[in-house]
Structure 1
Amino acid sequence: MTHTRRLDPYDSPRAFYGAELRRLRDEVGLSQERLSERVFCSPAYIAHFESCVRLPQEEISKLLDDLFGTGEHLQRLCKLARRSSYPDYFADAADLETVATHLYDHAPLLVPGLLQTREYARALSLATAPFMPEDVIEKHVQARLERQRLLKNPEVPELWTVLHEPVLRTAFGGPEITARQLHHIAALVRTRRVVVQVLPFTAAAQGFMSGMARIMTFAEGPSMVYEEGAHRGNLIDDPALVAQYQASYDLIRAAALSPMASLEMLESVAEDYGRS
């Protein structure tokens, strides 16, 4: 059975949305399970909305307004709650990572955002959008760096990342920037803030997942997966599919180098860049 932690509704627009949804649901005498059936979503969605684990969704908010007879009340609150400095396709995932207990990143080509240096993030933005105005690039880079405040929390979330060897060998921004990026990851590992494993070229066939993906677990509610490609992202909450991602990730971790051997490779490749 799903449940909802009690929050101060005046903490944020998202908290107010959750409190209003819970109030309206209680007024009509529907459980989270019964309400989810009426608006064609899973009970976990309702629980996540009410406990501020997940940002509200516009389509579901419209269905809820129709069901409760509240005009556009929840839809307006939804728009306030969803204001974000991130692209719309990533806004939900960025929000979820702030309340996750564990983050498991799979990175076949690029350093994940939480581990990027400013220089690397800027070089990546220029590579993916070469005609983007400078002020927009800076906005994107700054938003990415602000996410990294999560790493200053000594308790949660715990971050585990598997980097494929091509991530180390692709010099975004040139050898010097990539060397500093790899040294930065190594420093995070040495402070025991993250666990990083490298999947070498020789083991790539033993553990396969296509594309960038993140598995997120929560103190309340089921795990979710966020997968990302160029200019798009997708959240997955189907339990069976999430379980398949978890099984694939476990195989990749088993095929990857140990954390200590991975740290040695990170520092070795960084030194190679420094000599080039």
Structure 2
Amino acid sequence: MSEAADQAREPSNGAAYFGEEAKALREALGLSQGQFAAELHYRQAQVSKVENGTVLASAAFAEAMDRVAGTPGVYARLRARLSKQGHPEWFVPYIALEESASGITDYSCTFLMGLLQTPEYATAVFRAAHPRETEAQLKEHVELRMRRQAVIERDAPPLLWVVVHEAVLRTRVGGSSVMIRQLEHLATQMASPHVTVQVLPYKAGASPSHLPFTLLSLNGAPHSVYTETPTHGGQVDDTSSVVASAVGMFDRLRMAALSEEESLALIREITEVHAK
């Protein structure tokens, strides 16, 4: 594979493109999908997802391809470029951290965080933020967000811990049917040992934070804080004092929030309210 030629013909759908490259490599090596999976040290189901373009391969998957192909860094660099496609420049630093994080903690007080959104919910969020964009543009935004969810679907995902304000669950984003599917999806995700969701109820009173934020950990240690504003985009800050402040704030949030069991019960209760 020529990197120069590769860069010249990269399509908008990075996951599909990388999947084609993965399949082409496998066939060039004369391997079945199962044999290729064994060489990569991945499950065949994951190889199938990558080849079909269902998910964009992880950085580790691309590195395994380089190892098998004997092409140091070629597939890893391709995958890194594709992962940035379509995202605004200010969001790229966050994407890189999200993909390598060992832990992601998030406070959602306006909308659910992107890693837990359904396509319909994400569409409604983007439509509200970008009312003049075409359906094709909105679809591209949603597809990019959905591909990011591969982070929590991989074999060794980061620990995702989210505190979500009750108001987020009750706000009818996209209408009742969209909210029902979204809350059902949220409840399903909570069954994963890698996902913890707590609800901060109205009765908790004033929140320790009036703005959403995401704290990312690398190698088990808090590393960076991501915040976003409507006018200035997003910012990643790894200043030790800022990170320490965010850690303390999130600790207070989860102490004020309901337990996992109580949170799940409230989510199901609110789902029924949306169904009425």
Whether TM-score is above 0.5 comes out as yes
- Residue in structure 2 matched with residue 176 of structure 1 by the alignment: 177
Residue 192 of structure 1: how far off its partner (Å): 3.1
192-201 or 150-159, which moves further after superposition? 150-159
CA contact 1:102–1:158 (8 Å) conserved in 2: yes
Aligned with residue 12 of structure 1, among 76, 89, 101: 76
The unaligned stretches of length 5 or more in structure 1 are: 1-6, 16-54, 56-79
Question: Counterparts in 2 of 1:1-276, with a 5 A limit?
Answer: 8-13=72-77, 83-205=84-206, 207-219=207-219, 223-230=223-230, 232-275=233-276
Deviations 1:116-167 (A, max 9, x none): 0000000111111111111110000000000111121243211000000110
What secondary structure sits across from 1:139 in the alignment? helix
Shift of residue 250, structure 1, vs aligned partner: 0.3
Counterpart amino acid of 2:124?
Answer: A
Q: Give TM-score scaled by structure 1 length.
A: 0.69
- C-alpha contact (below 8 Å) 1:103/1:157 kept by paired residues: yes
CA distance in 2, matches of 1:222, 1:102: 8
Distance across 1 between alignment mates of 2:189 and 2:85? 27
After superposing on structure 2, the runs of 4+ consecutive aligned residues of structure 1 that deviate more than 6 Å are none
Distance between the aligned counterparts of 1:263 and 1:204, measured in 2? Answer: 20
The answer to whether the Cα contact below 8 Å between 2:197 and 2:260 also exists between their aligned partners in 1 is yes
2:215 and 2:222 in contact (8 A); partners too: no
Amino acid paired to 2:230: A
Q: Measure how far apart 1:11 and its partner are.
A: 4.2
> Equivalents in 1 of 2:196, 2:126: separation in Å?
26
Measured after TM superposition, the shift of residue 239 of structure 1 is 0.6
9 and 222 in structure 1: CA distance in 2 versus 1, 3 angstrom threshold: farther
CA distance in 2, matches of 1:267, 1:221: 33
- Show the counterpart of 1:47: none
Cα distance per residue 1:194-250 (max 9 Å; x no partner): 100000111142x41132211001028861010112251011110111101110110
- 1:145–1:81 CA distance, 2 compared to 1 (3 A): closer
Structure 1 residues 171 and 81, CA, compared in 2 at 3 Å: closer, same or farther? closer
Number of aligned positions between the proteins: 205
Alpha-carbon shift at residue 12 of structure 1 (Å): 3.4
Instruction: Kindly state the Cα deviation for residue 92 of structure 1 after the two structures are TM-superposed.
Output: 1.3
Contact 2:118–2:182 (CA under 8 A) maintained in structure 1: yes
Contact 2:84–2:95 at 8 Å: present in 1 too? no
Check whether the contact 2:103–2:220 (CA below 8 A) recurs between aligned residues. Answer: no
> What secondary structure, in the 3-state scheme, does the structure 1 residue paired with 2:156 have?
coil
| Root mean square deviation of aligned Cα | 2.2
| 1:270/1:222 CA distance change after superposition, 3 Å | closer
The answer to whether the 8 Å contact 1:212/1:229 transfers is no
